[in-house]
Amino acid sequence: MEKSRLGLKRWFVSRWRKPLDGMLVAAIMSIYTLVAFHVPLFSAVVAATEGGWHMALILCSFIILLLVANFMIYGIMLYAMRTVGRVLISLFMLGNAIALYFINSYEVLLTREMMGNIFNTQYSEASSYFSIGAVLYTLLLGVMPSVWLLCRKVNYGKMRRFAVSMLCSILGIITLALVNMGSVLWIDRNAPVIGSLILPWSYVVNSVRYANQQCAAGREAVLLPAVDSISASRDVVVLVIGESARSANFSLYGYERITNPLLESDGVTIFEASASATYTTAGVEAILSHAPSDELYESLPSYLSRAGVYVSWRTTNWGEPSLKVDSYLKAQDIKDRYADADMSYDGILLAGLDEEIAASEADKLLIVLHTSTSHGPTYYKKYPSEFEVFSPVCTTVEMSKADHESLVNAYDNTILYTDYLLHSVIEVLRGVEDRRCAMIYVSDHGESLGEGGLYMHGMPLALAPSEQIDIPFIVWTSEDVSYKSFDAVGHYHVFHSVLGFMGVSTPIYNSSNNIFMTVGTENDVVK
């Protein structure tokens, strides 16, 4: 018995020490990548085809393509980079495991925009995604194969054998491309979804694309034409940028639950509105821009600050374009000034707001509050306990496992808290006696709460469901103003409405995007 156990151990040790052929390792890792990480991809392919022969052909093609292409890439990495190649492939396995966890738990697509979201997530937000599931995915699917790959000896083989393997792979890919010529239209239509589920290449390629985009965005903003004239009235506009707030859950927009008890009696005006983006950086950029453009133009706060308006930016969020403003305060900066303020929630943005308005000697003030209240997945952590009106609330971060009703309860509580925040801004403005005041509230994008199996936001705009696009656009003014009527407004109405309200005359002003009934060139706000 003892002898056979020793024999088995010796056999195992000798097998383990025996170097593995480099091309065999590439093949094993390619098969592992396919089997372990591509169930969501195959589900998406099945869902996007109508079954029958077409589905079988596309499915088989994807299986062969992924096997051959990954075999080739892993083979080249191993042969050319040796140990470095092995380390890189191990990192891919870890990355794949984490990516798969997010795909399965949040139904996210790893597009360029999503990679931008991930790189812009602060540690405090990232830690809210932590769960036992994430650890298990990482250990079982990422760490274990990495340990195997890094510990085995590898015989990288001769150049000739490597070259033949690569040549056969290339021929295989060309054949596959020829067989699938008839599916070009299908592939073109489904590329955004399918491409974002191919691991590790979705996040690798889209990270590079995002980095390129950021390099382009790092350039200096193009200055807008100088302001011609500015009206003499003393005004203050508070622009509140919402986070992941969807209009469908605002009772102001017809939601059956009373989520806006305070705003409903504040005399606000609402507009049907659509977001121009489904993720924060692009949504905020659009809110602050005069028009959609690939060019990076000066944003509203920087533009008005240059024109002599006092501009203050207060934020518990991130992802805004670079700003040149008079005051820029993060939550910690506000806390340093107002020790009693509670940093846990967006209420901190209101601390000392009245004092800041009273202290400014400028005729015109623009104060931007960039909130974060409805950001998932931990909605239940975004409001003080007295706003937990709808219960029970979901406390899991793995949304796909969450009970839908408790997820909606937690989200609705964030809207209830937003109602309180906006009402509080209006209360502050009611106390301002010597200025015309306006509050404009608009969200950066909407949010999915499990409809169609989707959670949170970040779907490519063309594919995004209405939950991620339909946003609240709520306005309050201290004196009666007339509004134009619109079927729907959007992010690009903010810039021109603020200009219109303040009576700023500039060649860039577009009166058709001003919600107020104003004559822009004459600075005549209709009262």
**Binding span for Zn ion by CB under 5 A among 339-347, 417-425, 439-447, 479-487:** 439-447
**Binding span for Zn ion by CB under 5 A among 36-44, 95-103, 111-119, 436-444:** 436-444
Cβ neighbours around 261 below 10 Å, total: 13
Residue number closest to Zn ion, CB atom: 280
**Binding span for Zn ion by CB under 5 A among 216-224, 231-239, 440-448, 503-511:** 440-448
Residue 107 region by backbone torsions, left for phi larger than 0, else alpha for psi between -120 and 50, else beta: left
The site string for Zn ion over 276-305 (x = CB under 5 A, - otherwise) reads ----x-------------------------
**Binding span for Zn ion by CB under 5 A among 135-143, 228-236, 241-249, 430-438:** 241-249
How far, CA to CA in Å, does 353 sit from each of 19, 64, 335, 516, 520? 69, 61, 13, 25, 29
Which residue has 């201290």 as its token pair? 478
Measured distance CA(218)–CA(214) in Å, rounded = 6
Task: Identify the residue among 346, 398, 444, 467 touching Zn ion (CB under 5 A).
Answer: 444
- Beta carbon of residue 116, minimum distance to Zn ion (angstroms, whole number): 11
Strands 229-230 and 327-330: unpaired
Task: Tell me whether residue 280 or residue 477 sits nearer to Zn ion (CB atom).
Answer: 280
- Beta carbon of residue 436, minimum distance to Zn ion (angstroms, whole number): 30
Task: Tell me whether residue 287 or residue 304 sits nearer to Zn ion (CB atom).
Answer: 287
Outline where DSSP puts E strands in 434-478.
436-443, 448-449, 455-456, 470-477
Task: Tell me whether residue 320 or residue 412 sits nearer to Zn ion (CB atom).
Answer: 320
- Residue 318 tokens, joined: 């991130």
Helix (H) or strand (E) holding 155: strand 154-155
235 part of the interface to Zn ion, by CB under 5 A = no
**Binding span for Zn ion by CB under 5 A among 91-99, 160-168, 236-244, 265-273:** 236-244
Cβ neighbours around 53 below 10 Å, total: 8
**Binding span for Zn ion by CB under 5 A among 75-83, 177-185, 235-243, 514-522:** 235-243
Sign of CA dihedral 474, 480, 481, 486: positive
Question: What are residue 155's DSSP bridge partners?
Answer: 21
- Beta carbon of residue 186, minimum distance to Zn ion (angstroms, whole number): 32
Residue 495: what are its φ and ψ, rounded to 5°? -50, -55
Cβ neighbours around 288 below 10 Å, total: 25
Which amino acid makes up residue 30? S
- Beta carbon of residue 458, minimum distance to Zn ion (angstroms, whole number): 9
**Binding span for Zn ion by CB under 5 A among 83-91, 97-105, 187-195, 240-248:** 240-248
Q: Is the separation of the CB atoms in 150 and 78 below 8 Å? A: no
- Beta carbon of residue 121, minimum distance to Zn ion (angstroms, whole number): 11
Task: Tell me whether residue 444 or residue 470 sits nearer to Zn ion (CB atom).
Answer: 444
The site string for Zn ion over 162-201 (x = CB under 5 A, - otherwise) reads ----------------------------------------
- Beta carbon of residue 287, minimum distance to Zn ion (angstroms, whole number): 11
**Binding span for Zn ion by CB under 5 A among 69-77, 332-340, 379-387, 442-450:** 442-450
Which amino acid makes up residue 324? K
Number of residues that bind Zn ion (CB under 5 A): 3
Sign of CA dihedral 409, 415, 418, 420: negative
The site string for Zn ion over 251-280 (x = CB under 5 A, - otherwise) reads -----------------------------x
Which amino acid makes up residue 60? C
- Beta carbon of residue 177, minimum distance to Zn ion (angstroms, whole number): 39
- Residue 310 tokens, joined: 């006092």
Measured distance CA(474)–CA(235) in Å, rounded = 18
Angle at 223 between CA 222 and CA 228, to 5 degrees: 150
- Beta carbon of residue 242, minimum distance to Zn ion (angstroms, whole number): 8
Measured distance CA(293)–CA(486) in Å, rounded = 23
- Beta carbon of residue 281, minimum distance to Zn ion (angstroms, whole number): 8
Task: Tell me whether residue 155 or residue 214 sits nearer to Zn ion (CB atom).
Answer: 214
- Beta carbon of residue 263, minimum distance to Zn ion (angstroms, whole number): 21
Provide the terminal-to-terminal Cα distance of the chain, rounded to the nearest Å.
98
Helix (H) or strand (E) holding 71: helix 52-81
- Beta carbon of residue 516, minimum distance to Zn ion (angstroms, whole number): 26
Contact footprint for Zn ion (CB under 5 A): 243, 280, 444
